[in-house]
Homo-oligomer: A and B are copies of this chain.
Amino acid sequence: MQKKGCSEEELFSFLSSARLKDRKYEKVLSSMCTIPHPVAVKAHNMFIETNLGDPGLFMGTASIEALLVERLGVLLHHKSAGGYATTGGTESNIQALRIAREIKNLKNPNVVVPESAHFSFEKACEILSLELRSVPSDKNYQMDEEKIEECIDKNTVCLVGVAGTTEYGVLDPISYLSEIALERDIFLHVDAAFGGLVLPFIDEKPDFDFKLPGVSSISVDPHKMGMSTIPAGCLLVRDSSVFKSTEVDTPYLTVKKECTLCGTRPGGSVAAAFAVLEYLGEEGMEEIVSRCMKNNNKLIFGMKKLGYPVAAEPCVNVASFLCEDTPKGWQVSRTRYGHLRTVCMPHITEDIIDEFLKDAESMQN
């Protein structure tokens, strides 16, 4: 630290120059985050000093968090879902596995996840000392239905399905998982961190949420397709009594128990998440999702014409291509199997797709 402080002018000129070194979102086709909606930023600022870690001090903010959970619950077919705002999918997934572990309390617990699951499950299992069992993928990079049963045994505390995978944008056979979960009384967590705010706004899709009776919990991230500020994730559970399993006593706070992973939690991004959903309503979200899906299809169609077919048929606005080169100047990513991967977030317009396709064509020359 410097002995003397600096002027506001110096400080912000330095910060601006650092900010300029960040990538502009217009060239970013690899991220599941996007530019926050203007009402998100405005709401965030209104609640910027609030702390949900001490909800007795911030009862108004806590009521907004409860409303956010209710709205997402309704959207995912369970009005009385329990839940709370997390920092995002990773934390939600860790907490879901933690709950599942505590409920069963077995000696050598294991968790059955799709091979294609987000890397946060590896992290969660390592932290929670859970054995991770991967179910191989089928040709479309979804969990192979026929190989699920053989991974499960009496020590399985949790099944995981993904609704809109990070790398291929596909959906695991969640209704099948739901049947197994009910039959064998196993906690079923659905990672819909991305898909949870896409699929409800699409006409034709398989069931993936609380509509399926075996689904115990769902991760859904408003800071992805919900255009909130960061951090805004959400862990929803069918039955809020499961949170008892992760409670610790909290001397000195305005509440007596805490079941979350983090202590201090920002109210700003939670108000932001709520604000976007409330402002847009279902119709507004449908419009945005439909634009993203249209752009995703345009990209898939254009790439196919250039000789780059998709590696998997996605059900959300993610695409993967059999394409070894990368168009210059664009931020795309590579899946673990080496496919070119893109995400058409709300900041990606039709014009941007045209430009991208032009650059993909010129890399062939």
Most chain B CB within a 10 A radius of its CB, from A74, A229, A251, A334: A251
- The listed residue (B39, B60, B233) touching A22 by CB distance below 8 A is B60
Contact digits for A220-254, partner B, Cβ 8 Å, 1 yes 0 no? 01010000011101000000000000101111111
Find out whether the CB atom of A11 lies under 8 angstroms from the CB atom of B45.
no
In the assembly, what is the distance between CA of A128 and CA of B123, in Å? Answer: 12
Number of copies: 2
Of the listed stretches A87-95, A134-142, A181-189, A290-298, chain B binds A87-95
Q: Are A1 and B333 CB-contacts (below 8 A) given A46-B16, A58-B23?
A: no
Residue of B nearest to A253 (CB): B333
CA distance A243 to B72 in the complex (A): 36
In the complex, chain B residues whose CB is within 8 Å of the CB of A43: 11-12, 15
Residues of B within 8 A of A6 (CB): 278-279, 281
| Contact residues in B for A58 (Cβ distance below 8 Å) | 22-23
In A89-106, the 8 Å CB interface with B consists of: 89-91, 94, 98
A230 to B270, CA, bound (A): 12
> Is the pair B90, A264 in contact by a Cβ cutoff of 8 Å?
yes
A53, chain B: closest CB distance, angstroms = 8
Chain B residues with CB below 8 A from A262, complex form: 87-88, 90-91, 231
A123 (CB) vs chain B CBs: closest residue: B248
Docked-complex contact A258 and B119, CB < 8 angstroms: yes
How many Å from the CB of A126 to the closest CB on chain B?
7
Task: Give the docked Cα–Cα distance between A283 and B4 (Å).
Answer: 6
| CA–CA, A161 and B233, complex, Å | 32
